[in-house]
């Protein structure tokens, strides 16, 4: 096997970034960071505790109250956001190498994530310059206008799948709208997050506007969620963690935006373009190592094409290239961490009792080390099976037949989740009606997940709370204050006088 690629200038210790400076935890705590190909520790990271979060929030609060950032004109902030995007694009290759090394994502897919991160900053730079607020008039009587204001310190908690891109998704709108931030990246993947500090500083982001605290969810994340001076929490991650955050945010009535788990259906009708559907359904669950919240991990196929679909899909799944994430030929790399590998491997074993194994089923031959699982396909999976109902978050797919459109809709909606759905049919009327009756925050017709940044992103049911994306992100990160101006004489009942009895209505 080829020598495992290690990026140049890899840090051996990853620090927090608070008030413009790299610092260790106040109590000196650290945790180990593993490389998923060898599962060896390549670095330690500062493990943030409550006192580190307190220091970061204090810096962010000071930068918000007394610093220039919230008071800058939108164009000034937009210029800095565009410099950030330029810097991300300029080091795209290095970012991709580090992301691949840290997460196990194939290098070709990591490169796309860096460019998407840059585009998030450009998009919100454009949006805040073009932003205008509503005004409502009653001629001769009243004008009402909406004054948008940044809210304060935003707490951003991000996951380990495509971490750099998902961090940009929160950082860009939070900063664009004039808030200051404390970012708590996932403990499995702190490497690429550590790059933001220098990128922001060189772009001209003032000290204290961006703060980064590494650490475990139950320590650093918990302290951030409970901090009384953090009015906003944006979280992407697993549903049970989201429920904990919801409970802990209640005391201070925080604004919450949560994009949680998914078990998205990919529904294939007999009249679909089967070649395109197979391409898309393969990419939709096996790209990003299957570690994607919007994965179409339940494939529902109409009976007349079911056998052909299963046979062709499984044959293709067996030829997917699994291997070293840094090899450009690799299509599925190593899962992020041994803990996650164990979880996905246990679902593969459960699947062998719940469905007919058509491809994969465990570790690929020749890859004895590292967190590798072959693309795994189960057919004839019953709707109450665990692999049909539970989020696996790996390269594992369940295929189930259906006979009628009504049955397909029932199967599509038959989980606690409701993030995405994918529908394949050439019948336009059916496509729209089925899409609108599907319990999902986002639906793609005859396509995998190709998203316009202007559209709302979010789920229903156990898949989330609120939406981000486009103006929905601006709405989340700002307060909309209504200001009322009277233009004419106002009739006011005169309490405490004889005229008080003349109150209208």
For residue 14, the number of C-alpha atoms closer than 13 Å in the C-beta half-sphere is 29
User: DSSP secondary structure string, 134-152?
Assistant: -EEEETTTEEEEEEEEE-S
Active-site residue identified among 97, 99, 219, 259: 259
Confidence at residue 500, expressed as pLDDT on a 0 to 100 scale: 60
3-state SS of 302-368?
A: EHHHHHHHHHHHHHHHHHCCECCCCCCCCCECCCCCHHHHHHHHHHHHHHHHHCEEEECCCCCCCCC
pLDDT given at position 1: 43
SS3 of residue 399 by DSSP: strand
The predicted structure's pLDDT at residue 4? 82
- The span from the CA of 445 to the CA of 12, in Å, is 46
Q: What is the pTM of this model?
A: 0.96
Give me the residues of the chain with pLDDT under 70, please: 1-3, 499-505
For 70-109, how does the pLDDT look when each residue is reduced to its tens digit (9 = 90+)?
999 999 999 999 999 999 999 999 999 999 999 999 999 9
Angle at 136 between CA 135 and CA 140, to 5 degrees: 120
CA angle (34 as vertex; 33, 40 as ends), nearest 5:
130
Active site residue 76: no
């Amino acid at each position: 096997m080829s020598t495992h690629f290690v990026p140049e200038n890899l840090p051996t210790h990853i620090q927090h970034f608070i008030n413009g400076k790299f610092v260790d935890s106040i109590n000196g705590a650290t945790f180990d960071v593993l490389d998923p190909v060898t599962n060896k520790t390549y670095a330690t990271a500062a493990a943030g505790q409550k006192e580190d979060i307190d220091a970061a929030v204090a810096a962010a609060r000071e930068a918000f109250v007394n610093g220039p950032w919230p008071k800058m004109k939108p164009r000034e902030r937009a210029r800095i956001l565009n410099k950030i995007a330029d810097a991300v694009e300029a080091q795209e290759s290095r970012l991709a190498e580090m992301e691949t090394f840290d997460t196990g994502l194939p290098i070709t897919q990591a490169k796309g994530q860096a460019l998407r991160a840059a585009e998030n900053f450009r998009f919100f730079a454009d949006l805040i310059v073009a932003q205008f607020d509503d005004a409502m008039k009653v001629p001769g009587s009243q004008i009402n206008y909406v004054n948008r204001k940044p809210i304060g310190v935003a707490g951003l908690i991000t996951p380990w799948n495509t971490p750099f891109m998902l961090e940009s998704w929160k950082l860009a709108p939070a900063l664009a709208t004039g808030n200051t931030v404390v970012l708590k990246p996932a403990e499995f993947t702190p490497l690429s997050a550590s790059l933001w500090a220098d990128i922001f500083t060189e772009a001209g982001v003032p000290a204290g506007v961006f703060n980064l605290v590494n650490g475990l969810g139950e320590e650093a994340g918990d302290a951030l969620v409970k901090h009384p001076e953090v009015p906003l929490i944006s979280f992407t991650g697993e549903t049970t963690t989201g429920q904990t955050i919801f409970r802990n945010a209640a005391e201070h009535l925080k604004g919450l935006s949560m994009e949680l788990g998914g078990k998205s259906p990919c529904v294939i009708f007999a009249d679909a373009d089967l070649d395109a559907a197979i391409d898309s359904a393969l990419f939709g669950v096996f790209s990003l190592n299957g570690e994607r919240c919007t994965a179409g991990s339940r494939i529902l196929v109409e009976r007349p094409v079911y056998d052909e679909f299963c046979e062709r899909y499984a044959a293709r799944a067996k030829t997917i290239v699994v291997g070293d994430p840094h090899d450009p030929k690799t299509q599925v790399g190593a899962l992020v961490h041994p803990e996650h590998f164990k979880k996905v491997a246990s679902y593969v074993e459960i699947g062998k009792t719940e469905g007919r194994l058509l491809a994969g089923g465990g570790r690929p031959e020749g890859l004895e080390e590292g967190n590798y699982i072959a693309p795994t396909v189960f057919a004839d999976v019953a709707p109450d099976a665990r692999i049909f109902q539970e989020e696996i978050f790996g390269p594992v797919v369940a295929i189930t037949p259906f006979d009628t459109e009504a049955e397909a809709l029932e199967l599509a909606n038959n989980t606690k989740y409701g993030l995405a759905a994918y529908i394949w049919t050439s019948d336009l009327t059916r496509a729209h009606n089925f899409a609108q009756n599907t319990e999902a925050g986002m639906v793609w017709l005859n396509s995998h997940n190709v998203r316009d940044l202007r559209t709302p992103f979010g789920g229903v049911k156990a898949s989330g709370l609120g939406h981000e994306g486009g103006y929905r992100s601006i709405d989340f990160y700002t307060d909309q204050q209504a200001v009322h101006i009277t233009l004419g004489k106002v009739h006011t009942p005169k309490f405490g006088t004889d005229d008080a009895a003349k109150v209208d209505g």
